[in-house]
Each structure stands twice: as C-alpha cells, then as structure tokens.
Amino acid sequence: MMVSGSNFLQDFDITWGDGRGKIVNNGEFLTLSLDKYSGSGFQSKNEYLFGKIDMQIKLVPGNSAGTVTAYYLSSEGENHDEIDFEFLGNLSGEPYTVHTNVYTQGKGEREQQFHLWFDPTADFHTFSVLWNPQTIVFSVDNTPIREFKNLEKIGVQFPKNQPMKLYSSIWNADQWATRGGLIKTDWTQAPFTASYRNFNAEPNNKPWMSQRLDPISEEKLKWVQKNYMIYNYCADTERFPQGFPPECNA
C-alpha cells in the first residue's frame, strides 16, 4: 500500500485536544493548536515496521517560546522504540531548535540538536525519516541532518522488531523548552498553531529498504553537522565521564 497525495481523514486520528486539532479542506490539511488550557495531538491509523515517511510541516510563527511541537514514530509499551523530531519554540526572530533522539527498548538519551538554515515558520518544509534494517536517517527538505546506523555488531541495540505509529503533538513545555526554561510561554500570543500537509509513507518492499547515504548525501550531512549542530551527546564529556557510548566511536 502506498499512501500518497494523502488524506488526513483516512490516515490519521486526532487523539486529544478537545477540538484543538483539526482536519480541514476535505482531508488535505491538518492543524494542531495549543492554548493555556490544552495542546493537541494526532496519530496514524497504520503501523510501520520500517518506513520512508515524509510530512510537510509549517511550525508555529512569531513568539513560540515555551512551546514544543513533536513529530515522531513510536511503538507501544515501556520497552518502546522511538524516532523523534521535536521542535523547540523560540522568541520571535531567534532560530528554532530541532531536537532529535532515538530510543531502543525504552532507552533514549541519544540527543542531537540543530538550528535550521531557514525560517521553518514562513512556509511548509518536508521533515522525513528513512528507517530500514541498516540505518535511520533524519532529513529536512531531502538534506540529511542525522544518521543512526545499525551497529548491533558492536552491541548497540537498533529498532527493528516493533512496528511504530506516527504521532505529532503540540504542548506547553516552558519549564525547559526555551533556553532551559528561562523564557516562558507568552499566552497573549495563543493559540499557537502548527500546520501539516502532504504526508507520504512508502511500503517496505521498495528500493529504499536497502538504501544508505550516497557520497553527495554524506557531504550534506557533514555540512549540516559542522554548521548547524548545537548539541551532540557524543561530544558531551560531562555527561559521559567514563567514556562515550560505543556508537559514538564507530
């Protein structure tokens, strides 16, 4: 099954938010909103075991400090696997922070954070996850920003057995989201709204099931990590005084 030219009514359920999540234009668009009473969220009706998943998202414009818009794949249960994008809001004019993480068997703590090289609130941009048995690649407008390779051969767990649904939500996280919680949500700016369109999920019998980064993509990845990465758990010596996790040195 290929989900293309997607219809949010067919592909997703609004799961919480008491009317703050909306599917509009006959299923072509979806919006999630946050006010001081509640955020909102949705999840996919389908589960995916491996996937190439794209979504065009336009993030909350203006002063979005204190807000988090999460977009992620996750299995269920306490030993869950998860592939995370989280977008941490900003004071107007400051860059958004894109927070990424990978969980295997309930364990995460593999954070990398980036700024973007464009304003993600001015227009829609494509945020993608490629997940196959060899690798997980996070991409923005087809530019890879992070790769998490399958390194089971050196004892690093890799998500490969638990099907995941796609989720997104927006909520208030002003105790930590913006500058570590120094900047609080300005509720006079509410409602805060993120917009979604053009979801695409390809089935796992396609060429991408064996895809790896080609040399051009490797160069793009290095460019992003050199110029736009602002946090990498694999460089945080205070956090890992006994030495970095094995995947950091692979």
Query: Which residues belong to the active site?
Result: 82, 86
Which of 145, 155, 111, 148 lies closest to 133, judged by CA? 148
Any idea what the Cα angle at residue 98 is, between residues 177 and 75, rounded to 5°?
A: 90
Which helix (H) or strand (E) segment holds residue 16: the answer is: strand 12-16
CA 217 – CA 209 distance, rounded (Å): 17
Tokens of 51: 């996937």
- Take residue 80 and report the two structure tokens written for it: 């869950």
Two structure tokens written together for 151: 């390194």
Amino acid, single-letter form, for residue 236: D
